[in-house]
Chain A
Amino acid sequence: MDKFNLYVPNFLPFKEYFIPEKNHACPGCGLALAIRQTYKALEKEIEKATWQPLMSAEAFEERLDIFEMGKTEVSFLRIPKGKADIILCLDNEAGGSLSDVLEKPMPSIAVAEGFHYVAAACPSYPFDLYAKIKRGFQTEGKVYIHILCPCPEEWKFDPELTVKIGRWAVESRAFPLYEVGGGVYHLTVETPKPRSLSDYLKAQKRFEGLSESDIEEAQAFVDNEYKRLLDTIQKYLDTTG
């Protein structure tokens, strides 16, 4: 068995900055998992982080209002670095209908607004998330990272499925992981054989009442969005050579 000894944590720093003694999160919280992995990537810098309420006057000045949230509630974590900040959007899709949930316009808005590094990440792919936050921290200028955090309470699934549901969201192409910045615009996790969207939706009891035609419509919407993303990437590659 000795030759199979691969120490996965050895790729991540072992020091734990996350203090769980006061952690009021529910069991299996995707948000807590995302924050813990962010802590590992940022190490000491995390002490400067603050939650950014969306509607405050300050946020208005900083033009956070450009991100149209639809009806879901998201949280913003702002981490100062050098001249500009990192804005982490922790999206647990609270209180949204199916169409609100599947539509994620924020990263593309950030790209259009001229952010220097934009990425979509999910705690189910910890090394991907770690690398993106590290890269965001090293990039000069404004950084926006959108993180999908599965929420067992709000999405109504078993807490032990948190990581799996996040992975299904990526595999079914409902939430493609990609990054833009530093001359690259590419998918970081390829899905050559996509999982059907109904697997992802039916695992969550909040979508219990959906009919087959609703799911087909959602599948068509997701396929269309994915195609648009690929087109955007192709256009970017064509213009930059």
Chain B
Amino acid sequence: MGLTIRFQKNMVECSLLEKGLGKPFHPGDRREWTPEWDRDRCIRCGLCYVYCPDGAIYRTDDGFFEADADKCKGCGICHRECWFGAISMVKEE
């Protein structure tokens, strides 16, 4: 078990530092849940942007936030951390 953890960890570490290792892929392909923003409740504070581990959330021109479907892995951190409950997780079809 220790060896597997070590191996996985090395793989993740290498890919995070971007040294030309690892093939490009679309992390969003295996997603089950997608975040959706309720614009009436959103105060545009940007906490979801700060806490996204994958850098998938970006700010649109009108100040609201949206997730890039190609990068989002559907972890749900933004849904948990939103103070106003403006983000709901919707099951992918």
Interface residues of A (CB under 8 A from B): 1, 4-10, 12, 14, 16, 18-33, 35-36, 49-51, 73, 75, 77, 92, 94-95, 126, 152, 154, 158-164
Contact = CB atoms under 8 A, between A and B. Distances in A.
Closest 5 CB pairs of A and B: A160-B76, A28-B75, A27-B75, A33-B53, A27-B73
A8 B57 CA distance: 13
B17 A51 contact: yes
The interface size bin for chain B is 35 or more
Interface of B: 1-2, 5-6, 9, 11-18, 21-27, 31, 43-47, 49-56, 59, 63, 71, 73-77, 79-81
A29 B51 CA distance: 11
Nearest to A16: B55
Nearest to B30: A27
Contact of A25 (B16, B46, B63): B16
Contacts, number: 128
A161 B81 CA distance: 9
B54 A163 contact: no
A73 B51 contact: no
B51 A33 contact: yes
A51 B49 CA distance: 26
A239 B62 CA distance: 54
